[in-house]
Structure 1
Amino acid sequence: MKKRHLLAPGPTQVLPEALLAMARPILYHRGPEYEVLLASVREGLKFLFQTKNEVLLFTSSGTGGMEGAVVNTLSPGDRALVIRGGKFGERWGEICEAYGLQPSYIDVEWGRAVEPDLVAAALTADPSIKAVFTTHSESSTGVLHDIEAIARIVGKTPAILIVDAITSVGVVDLPMDAWGVDVVVGGTQKALMIPPGLALCGVSDKAWAMVQRSRLPKFYFNFIAERKSLEKNQNTFTPAVSLVVALHESLAVIRAEGLTALFARHDRLARATRAGVMALGLQLFTERPTPALTTIIAPPGIEAGAIVKRLRAAHGITISGGQAQLKGKIFRLAHLGYADESDVVVCLAALERTLADLGYPVKLGEGIRAAQEVLVQAC
């Protein structure tokens, strides 16, 4: 028998309390019991997003939330600025183009974070830009972009800032109201510790003003209709009831841990993982890494896919390889959501053996030792 460990950047391991909750008899989504539960979820999402405003909830993957953010804020022909530094930054541009918008692009080398000054220059050069689209934690590269600095720049203009925070909500601090981020898109299959299927959209007052003027087509992902429903503790359309029940459990656990401790845990696991892989002589791919995952360059002569496959086959550990031009060149170890120190130690131990099996010179225990030194110091 081989125990399975899911250490990919999404979907992630599911909280046991959430699994048990989903096994209960399903609730009727128009009944009073569901309304009480949804009222609690609404407050929990405001706490997590650090906003006074409603956080909208759709039955969808995170990409649905991204599409909703586009079609509810803009109108045909609008100008937008898109920061592309990975697969998910590229997705913003693809959605904008699909709806006939006119995006301009800041292309960032994969593995590097965008320079906020480039955003300021682009907005100065084109004052007609209505929205800036970016990613906070770019899981395809492992980069964490400086949203606080970008928000300060965008906030001085009529444009709104729309952020894909699917891999950062619940991982790293993103105080939506305090920073002035206008739309924050989240998803449940990352740090929220439940299965894929719910998209979350926090919307600022500045963004709501644009929602009122938006003329792009929308039906299911209708922000105005969904807010009206939520104010009555209802969803506009039939929700994924079991996932909302699971979300209620995960939000309760997050609130009990507290945001400060939540972010500190992710930071500690990230630092320990990086210390471990560097002690093995491996090189990190990113210059400004996200606490959600560690992205590692495959050692010379070893294809990254071989590491991913052997970890899964020999040790029951699922991680992720690279995407697009990074395929075969990097591998990604996630440490977000329902993850703790044991996940880091188990993954590094298996990685040491995998590298040794593939012919890479490694001294067994070196990675674990370096990681443990970080974990002990942080306690």
Structure 2
Amino acid sequence: MDDKLMLMIPGPTPVPERVLHALAKHPIGHRSGDFVKVIAELTENLKWLHQTQNDVLMLTVSGTGAMEAGIINFLSAGDRVLVGCNGKFGDRWAQLSEAFGLNVDKVTAEWGQPLDPEHFREKLEADTNKEIKAVIITHSETSTGVINDLETINRHVKAHGQALIIVDAVTSLGAVNLPIDEWGLDVVASGSQKAYMIPPGLGFVAVSSKAWEAYKTAKLPRFYLDLGKYRKDAAKNTTPFTPPINLMVALQTALQMMKAEGLQNIFSRHQRLMNATRDAVKALGLPLFAPEGAGSPAITAVAPTDVDAEQVRAVMKKRFDIVLAGGQDHLSGKIFRMGHLGFVSDRDILAAVAALEATLRELGYEGFTPGAGVAAAARVFTTN
């Protein structure tokens, strides 16, 4: 049946009908008085979502572009940085940092395991000369379904006193409680196609006053991603370059929906969806890739041993029009990932789990009692 596709991936995520209607409106001038009002509302609501009174800047980029902007605006070639690497995106930030001539010191963990905050503490405490200029962390490592202990790592950064903390919150912002001002996070990057519930194309960077001080002496080249330009124009509710007008109008509606739901309800919903998905997977006798206590509310990674991960994805897509994500790099073909981020409800999880049960049966896997996955998910929904 046409037009029944269901995205259960970490991004792009499903888009609400109200947001799609807003996206389809005729464009307005980006230098018009009407668009000034749109930007003013977006800025106010983005600060609400980010739990900050500092700048939250909008860029016409993906999450990777937001992270690049978050790095090049506050550092100089040769600066020593600690980069947490326990998945595809931690590795990407190390590669990006090396591309700009930074002195990269990796803090690693096996893919599927969270970063150990103690490793950061040891390196930061040993840096008596205060040579470490920044610590770069992926909060929710989408490639493995692991969430890192950002709060504890950040405490060690704060104890250092000099280093900035730069955070990839691409799949955590809007899904996980991330109190930027309370924790004193310096640079936080995210992307529109995740918890924001709109299509790809907008990136966001929240910037602290401490980071702006570092901006004054940072020497890496920048032009289109020069956040100083965006800050100056944001103060006048405008943009330095042509923005994606329709995406921003769609974001206006999405943020209104998020405010109506409320921050704590949003966070509780994502936690509930994660718990239901993980319990369902365990009830089906399938191994989870991320350990207990380190699962991401954005996505659940599954590492099947008695059924082929790519066959699961293929049948789910062909028979049920449900798209699951595969493994990346050396995990290709070894895991599949079920997204539960953004505009996802309890009903969506129940439907996906039921389809997964049918898929497993079709593939000859009999390591579960029929209905066990749906029952496990339903128990979470009826008790939370």
Q: TM-score by structure 1 length?
A: 0.98
Partners of 1:152 and 1:180 within 8 A in 2? no
The match for 2:298 is 292
Does residue 35 (structure 1) correspond to residue 40 (structure 2)? The answer is no
Cα separation, 2, equivalents of 1:283 and 1:242: 42
Equivalent residue for 1:353, pick from 324, 339, 358: 358
Return the alpha-carbon distance in structure 1 between the equivalents of residues 159 and 231 of structure 2.
27
- CA distance in 2 between counterparts of 1:277 and 1:104 reads 36
- 2:66 match: 65
Give the whole-Å Cα distance in 2 for the aligned partners of 1:159 and 1:83: 14
What residue in structure 1 maps to residue 21 of structure 2? Answer: 20
Query: What's 1:165 paired with?
Result: 169
Cross-structure match for 1:151: 154
* 2:109 matched residue in structure 1: 108
- Equivalent position of 1:366 in the other structure: 372
* Matching residue of 1:182: 186
Offset at 1:236?
0.7
- Quote the Cα distance in structure 2 between the aligned partners of 1:277 and 1:141: 15
* Secondary structure of residue in 2 paired with 1:73: coil
Q: What's the CA shift for 1:304?
A: 0.9
Deviations 1:143-171 (A, max 9, x none): 01111111111012200000000000010
Could you say which residue in structure 2 is the equivalent of 1:242? 246
What is the distance in 2 between the residues matched to 1:363 and 1:299? 17
User: Which residue number in structure 1 is paired with residue 141 of structure 2?
Assistant: 138
CA distance in 2 between partners of 1:375 and 1:221 (Å) = 43
What is residue 325 of structure 2 aligned with on the other side?
320
SS in 2 for 1:364: coil
Read off the aligned partner of 2:329 and give its amino acid letter: A
Matched, 1:219 2:223: yes
Is the CA contact 1:81–1:105 (under 8 Å) kept in the aligned structure 2? yes
Alignment-derived partner of residue 346 in structure 2: 341
Sequence identity, in percent?
A: 45
Amino acid at match of 1:345: L
Partners of 1:121 and 1:207 in 2: CA distance: 23
Residue 197 of structure 1 is matched in structure 2 by 201
Equivalent-residue separation in structure 2 for 1:368 and 1:110 (angstroms): 29
Give deviations 1:74-104, integer Å, cap 9, x for gaps. 0111111111000000111111111111111
Tell me how far apart the structure 1 counterparts of residues 9 and 269 of structure 2 sit (CA, whole Å).
Answer: 18
In the TM superposition, what are the counterparts of 1:121-136 in structure 2 within 5 Å? Answer: 121-126=122-127, 127-136=130-139
TM-score normalised per structure 2: 0.97
The residue matched to 1:57 in structure 2 has which SS? Answer: strand
TM-fit CA distance, 1:350: 0.6
The answer for the alignment partner of 1:230 in structure 2 is 234
- Cα distance between partner residues in 2 of 1:177 and 1:367: 40
1:309 offset after TM fit, Å? 1.1
**1:222-250 superposed Cα distances (whole Å, 9 cap, x missing partner):** 11110001000001100011111111111
Name the SS for the 2:290 alignment partner.
Answer: coil
Q: Note the C-alpha offset of 1:299.
A: 2.8
Contact persistence 1:68–1:223 (CA under 8 A):
yes
Secondary structure of 2:159's aligned partner? coil
Structure 1 gaps of 5+ residues are none
Post-superposition offset of 1:47: 0.4
The DSSP-based 3-state class of the residue aligned with 2:216 is: helix
**Cα displacement (A) at 1:363:** 2.9
Counterparts of 2:305 and 2:378, CA distance in 1: 23
After TM superposition, list the pairs within 5 Å mapping 1:274-293 onto structure 2: 274-287=278-291, 288-293=294-299
Q: How many residues align?
A: 377
8 Å contact from structure 1 (residues 286, 295) kept in 2: yes
SS in 1 for 2:176: coil
